[in-house]
Amino acid sequence: MAKSDLNFEITRLGESRIPSPMKGVRFVRDDEPLLIYSDIKEIQKLLNEGKKPPSMELAGPRETIYFDPSKLKCGIVTCGGLCPGLNDVIRAIVFSLFHHYGVKTVYGFPYGYEGLAPKYGHTPIDLNPQVVSRIHEMGGTILGSSRGNQDVSQMVDTLERMGIGILFTIGGDGTLRGAHAISEEVGRRGLKIAVIGIPKTIDNDISYVQVSFGFDTAVSEARRVTYAAHSEAEGARNGVGLVRLMGRESGFIAAFAVLADTQVNFCLVPEVPFKLEIFLEALRERLERRGHAVIVAAEGAGQELMEATGERDASGNIRMSDIGIFLREQIRAYFNRLGIGITLRYIDPSYTIRSQPANARDSAYCLLLGHNAVHAGMAGHTDMVVSFWKNEFTHVPIAMAVSERKKIDPNGWFWSSVIASTGQPRDLG
């Protein structure tokens, strides 16, 4: 899609006519756009062609709102895998609804979209500031989570029956696609229900979102693991520390963890294929030179080297083969054939990292994401996600956010920096 064809127009339920109850804040106007790209030549080229450079709508409180807070009921769901900061976002949404707008009825639907499907019989949880006051100190989500699709018509039936005016969906690519489907069904029925997404993906792979919440915490925790792997490797003759981190299709956690710990010698990510024999030879040379090595592999790396599982999870994602176990066995077999003794320590901290409470930076980020999600919903915006782009909070249509996965550019400066940090061969295959 050409840059000039990008469409970031936000859907609205109707005109906002009710004065906002918020006081003493800077209100944002809908005509305050943020240019998506900073390339001056590209912008000038579009202007010369009579085209408008693509821009995003800025997030924030509006001077007038669509919903009457005294009559409004809201709902929250958390879907997909766990991620640091989920409870922080829930808390921020509840606090903002209660204290900024005076909304008194907020339901948490248990176990993701299952909570909206009558067949499961989950009872909605009444959320208020007292209930959520300390949840940010805990990992996970107090609402529970699940994967998989539910009947869209039945979910909208539930929203309509309960009189929900705004549904906040916290989740990744699959969750956002579900939110988009709900929004479309709401539109077909002519209902006035806003659907607002908060992008949650520990892999940091949602398009037009600069960074997703929980990512900073994940990288910080991953660095603790690479430190341990290095200590184990350095403490043994021909020691090898092998760490498997999250990253199905995008290797951002692995790559940032490597930059945060310059003691890592190899970084393997899904975006950069490698040949096993070339990697193993490079590892042997490293051990000959320095006597130890640390390897970080994202979970989606090297899938082409292994037999496909042929399975899918409840969300429809392909179940990937385990690159960590595969590399562990291949490394041991390779050095056994050479008659070289090694000491290999394999660490997979994935679930430990996912369940951590958010660190300070992520907590602050989650608070602002939650607040801006509420501001958008109260203004009658719908079928959108709250984003963070060029250091500003913005609105992005769900269709654009899920249009493609954000990935590392193998030819870009970021991956070049990873190569420079590790010292690994640029071409491993």
Domain locations in the chain as residue ranges:
3-212+356-401, 218-355+410-422
Fold of 3-212+356-401: Rossmann fold (3.40.50)
Q: Which residues lie closer than 8 Å to 65 by C-beta, 6 or more apart?
A: 16, 18, 19, 20, 101, 378, 379, 380
Fold of 218-355+410-422: Rossmann fold (3.40.50)
pLDDT at site 315: 57
pLDDT at site 427: 85
Active site residue 126: no
Among 410, 398, 421, 371, smallest CA distance to 61 is for 371
pLDDT at site 311: 64
pLDDT at site 102: 97
Local mean pLDDT, 10-residue blocks, the chain (429 residues):
72 96 93 78 76 89 97 97 96 98 98 96 97 96 92 97 98 94 97 97 93 95 96 96 95 96 96 96 96 97 82 64 95 97 96 94 98 98 96 96 94 96 90
pLDDT at site 316: 61
Q: Strand, helix or coil at 169? A: strand
Q: Which residues lie closer than 8 Å to 134 by C-beta, 6 or more apart?
A: none
Q: What is the pTM of this model?
A: 0.92
3-212+356-401 and 218-355+410-422 have identical folds: yes
Structure tokens at 275: 């040949």
**Active-site residue, from 88, 173, 203, 216:** 203
